Amino acid sequence: MNVLGIETSCDECSVAVVADGKTILSNIVATQVERHAPWNGVVPEIASRLHVEWIEEVTQQALDTAGVSLEEGVDAIAVTCRPGLIGSLLVGLSYGKGLAWSAGKPWVGVDHMMAHLHAPRLEYDIAYPYLGLIVSGGHTILCRVDSLHEVTVMGTTIDDACGEAFDKVAKFYDMGYPGGVALDKLAEQGDDSAFRFPQPRLHKGNHIYDVSYSGLKTAAVNQLEQFRQEGKEASLENIAASFRKAAIDMLVKKVKKAAADTGIHTVVAGGGVSANRYLRKVISEDPDLESYFPSMALCTDNGAMIAALGYHQIMAGERSEWNLNARARVSGFRRAYP
């Protein structure tokens, strides 16, 4: 069964064709990065307008590359419906509905975060249960995954998302855009013991698996003057390396605690931050953990992961209603303090 997957939740306009939820026949990702770079961040209005301009061409390319036509070679359509930028989501969702209606195909709305979590399953056969670590620009989720449809959120961020903190620190120091990628690259040349940033204390009650990035971000921005006065060399590389270590160590600590508490030692990562070199290194080298990371192309936003998860939803008999709406947020994926 061939599923056409449409992803427009943020700044990547992506359409893919995936066979049987596993074989990627095409995965076209048209990135808007250059169009948002002058603002050092994603401008929602620009993002949704570009999706409107690009979606048809990207879809045609996905069909052509896969060597199929919508009428003959596509059996179902899957489209991201939540969470994300509302205007961007609405473009893909409306377009997907239009395609499904005009071609008379079954279709389903897909949750973007669950699709990130599912992405490594395109490349690996992974036995349940496992711990899921979904780290992106808008979310930081540690969960227990018992089956495709049984995902229990154990911890989230109580303020900024991990990728958001990378982006904000990179923006403050003018490290480049997109921030997370630029900071990660600079960090490779830096000394990660140059600065010691504070770690949050979230050890109690509902928060034992939660993380917090707002204090670390503020420290990385504000403590620098103090460090300079102490005579420390505040090179961009050293700031990047020290920040990256603090941000990722915080996550890894929670993953290890979850592994110890649940007895589940398999970790499956997804989302843009799962491309981070230090995160990949620390988790994959940990003798206590067996880990699966998506290849780089499947870490960040892409239509293939939407098509793959959509396939399983369709196979389970799920069909979405025409009045399905886009949702910017999903309760439970982010937590407010306390």
Q: Report the side by side order of strands in the sheet with 2-7.
A: 23-31, 12-19, 2-7, 76-82, 107-111
Cβ closest to Zn ion, residue 9 vs residue 26: 9
Least gap, CB of 249 to ligand KG4 (angstroms): 14
We find the least distance from the C-beta atom of residue 112 to Zn ion, in angstroms, to be 6
Indicate whether 160 belongs to the interface with ligand KG4 (CB under 6 A): no
Q: Does 155 bind ligand KG4 (CB under 6 A)?
A: no
Binding string, 6-35, against ligand KG4, x = CB under 6 A?
Answer: ----x-------------------------
For the CB of residue 203, give the shortest distance to Zn ion in the complex, in Å: 29
- Is the separation of the CB atoms in 211 and 251 below 8 Å? yes
The binder of ligand KG4 chosen from 100, 108, 154, 181 (CB under 6 A): 181
Which of 239, 250, 230, 228 is CA-nearest to residue 169?
239
Which does residue 326 touch among ligand KG4, Zn ion, none (CB within 5 to 8 A, set by kind)? none
How far apart are CB 298 and Zn ion at their closest, in Å?
11
CB nearer to Zn ion: pick between 192 and 301? 301
Task: Look at residues 133, 110, 22 and name the one whose alpha carbon lies nearest to residue 327.
Answer: 110
The one of ligand KG4, Zn ion, none whose footprint includes residue 108, by CB under 5 to 8 A per kind, is: none
Instruction: Determine how β-strand 266-270 pairs with β-strand 290-292.
Output: parallel
Q: Could you give the angle at the alpha carbon of 330 between the alpha carbons of 326 and 252, nearest 5°?
A: 130
The CB-of-328 to Zn ion minimum distance in angstroms stands at 14
Q: Which of the listed partners (Zn ion, ligand KG4, none) does 246 bind, with a CB threshold of 5 to 8 Å by partner kind?
A: none
Residues 298 and 136: their CA atoms lie apart, in Å, by 12
Q: Write each residue from 267 to 306 as x if it is in contact with ligand KG4 (CB under 6 A), else as -, in one continuous string.
A: ----xxx-xx-----------------------xx-----
Nearer Cβ to Zn ion, position 2 or 136?
136
Identity of the residue, 59 or 136, whose beta carbon is nearer to ligand KG4 in the bound complex: 136
Q: Which residues of 267-288 are buried (b: 16+ CB within 10 A; e: fewer)?
A: bbbbbbbbbbebbbebbeebee
Q: How far is the CB of 132 from ligand KG4 (least distance, A)?
A: 14
* Contact positions vs Zn ion (CB under 5 A): 136, 301
Q: How many residues bind ligand KG4 (CB under 6 A)?
A: 20
For 205, residues 6+ apart whose C-beta sits below 8 A from its C-beta are none
Angstrom distance (rounded) from CA 84 to CA 161: 13
Q: How far is CA 102 from the centre of its chain?
A: 31
Residue type, 301: D
Q: How far is CA 46 from CA 76, 88, 318, in A?
A: 29, 9, 33
Give the whole-angstrom CA distance, residue 191 versus residue 208.
30
Nearest approach, Cβ of residue 189 and ligand KG4 (Å): 14
CB of 326 to Zn ion, least distance (A): 15
Q: Which residues share a beta bridge with 14?
A: 7, 29
Interface mask toward ligand KG4 for 110-149; x: CB under 6 A: --------------------------xxx-----------
Residues that bind ligand KG4 (CB under 6 A): 10, 136-138, 163-164, 166-167, 178-181, 184, 271-273, 275-276, 300-301
